[in-house]
Amino acid sequence: MRARMKLLASGLAMAAGLLTLSSALAPALAAPPAPSAEARASAAFDAALKNRAALRLFLQAMPKGGDLHNHLSGTPYAEDFLAWADADGLCVTTDVQPALASGPCDAPGRKPARGLAKADPALYARALNSLSMLNYNPGADGAQASGHDQFFSTFGRFGAVTESNLPAMLAVVREYAAGDHVGYVETSVNPGAIYDLVNKVRGSAWDGDFDKAFAALEPGIPDLVAKVRAEMDAAEVESDRRLGCQTQKPRQGACAVALGYQAFAVRILPPQVVFAQLTAAFALADGDPRFVGVNIVAPEDNPTSLADYRLHMRMLGYLHARYPKVKLSLHAGELTLGLVPPRDLSFHIREAVEVAGAARIGHGVDIAHEAEARELLKRMARDKVAVEINLTSNDVILGVKGADHPLHLYRKAGVPVVLSTDDEGVSRIDLTNEYLRAATEQGLTYRDLKAIARDSLEYAFVPGKSLRGATECAKPGKACEAFLGANPKAQLQWKLERDFEAFEAAH
């Protein structure tokens, strides 16, 4: 009996020991925690990398924040321009590279745009090619010698229809953004009224005196701002009407897309005209909150652009000192070796940052050719000067893509980068396509792309404080609601985070 009790006690002790051991091991033996929603979305992204169509489907639905490098006149597709030319009674020239033109359309070398797709399908097809990069073939008869030349020449060929279709273009840019799950677009646009001020200096001499030039333009600034405000008010109302924003069935998502405008100067024009355009742009950005920044456009390799580059940067610096609150996003470094001599690759980005005071750089492709490039990269990283990366545009215009592109150089240096479209209609792309290229050609991960989408709003010129680090929104509540109500930038960022939650929950 005693032996039996001893054996039972021994067994109980062993059982207790095993129970204690199993209790201690329980956490280790338990199932691992479920992956986060972000991790599941990342895994779905990795799986989609194996199939381009699946990746496109994934990225199309992914929230992308903002498109910060967008030209309004380059956003519509050629089909849009031809439809508006049809409605406006314009003509299509019968050249090898057809262009849109005003009437009469029964003159030799012209045909009516109205009904052209059915009346002359061959000319319609040629017009689609001429007004964009569609079917671009540098070896074909009459084709431009390079993608660069074809790209920039399209603007002159569809210019006749853009002049009277500002509302339609505003509607299209919002429509395309909504299809890409983009909530904000910063688009370059010069309303027609801006040229009332510019026309005052056409034909005048330029003596390089900034103070004198500004003094001559200053009296016309209040009238300019008033006229542009009225023009944009009317255009936005008509854009809303086209999208059905005030009806029971608004265009899906498009009415919720916010727009910010950048007024600009065309750098290939005479100095007095460029200065007048820049003055008008700064005045608008200072006087109308819809105009969030200033830019300078046109081919950077044009002989006038190259010869006057430093002058233009000084103009921008001068006006920036007069209007210190106005933000600059400047095309700089949209160049590559061979397109221009090496000397012209060595200073453009630096002068845009240091002389003009740019808060963002558009393109920045030639950064590796800049004098003291490493120091410049450090400065851009320190001052958070973001770079707008346009992968398709850089490929089509400059032939720079894949490992030749400086995207990773910027990221490694800590310089903020965002992905943007440039001229999506001319290139026949959308922002999803740029995210896809970033994934397949640049090797960016889902988390990389998510960070870029967030940065697209962090570095947007939207007024107000950022959501990042905002203690008011550490948790939902009245303090957060008040903060969001007072800060449009934070509002957009808050919506982006909610969109990411919904997107990732679906995976």
Question: Is the separation of the CB atoms in 66 and 360 below 8 Å?
Answer: no
Burial 258-288 (b: 16+ CB within 10 A, else e): bbbbbbbbbbbbbbbbbbbbbbbbbbbbbbb
Domain ranges of the chain: 66-72+164-462, 79-155, 465-507
- CA atoms of 393 and 66, how far apart (whole Å): 18
Other C-beta atoms closer than 10 Å to the C-beta of 420 total 25
Question: pTM (2 decimals)?
Answer: 0.91
- Give, for all 507 residues of the chain, the pLDDT tens digit: 333 333 334 443 433 443 343 444 444 455 667 789 999 999 999 999 999 999 999 999 999 999 999 999 999 999 999 999 999 999 999 999 999 999 899 999 999 999 999 999 999 999 999 999 999 987 666 666 799 999 999 999 999 999 899 999 999 999 999 999 999 999 999 999 898 888 888 888 999 999 999 999 999 999 999 999 999 999 999 999 999 998 877 777 999 999 999 999 999 999 999 999 999 999 999 999 999 999 999 999 999 999 999 999 999 999 999 999 999 999 999 999 999 999 999 999 999 999 999 999 999 999 999 999 999 999 999 999 999 999 999 999 999 999 999 999 999 999 999 999 999 999 999 999 999 999 999 999 999 999 999 999 999 999 999 999 899 998 889 999 999 999 999 999 999 999 999 999 998
* Amino acid residing at 36: S
- CATH class label, 66-72+164-462: alpha beta
Angle between helices 309-322 and 210-217 (to 10 degrees): 60
The contacts of residue 459 (CB under 8 Å, 6+ apart) are 68, 359, 360, 384, 386, 416, 418
- CA atoms of 204 and 272, how far apart (whole Å): 7
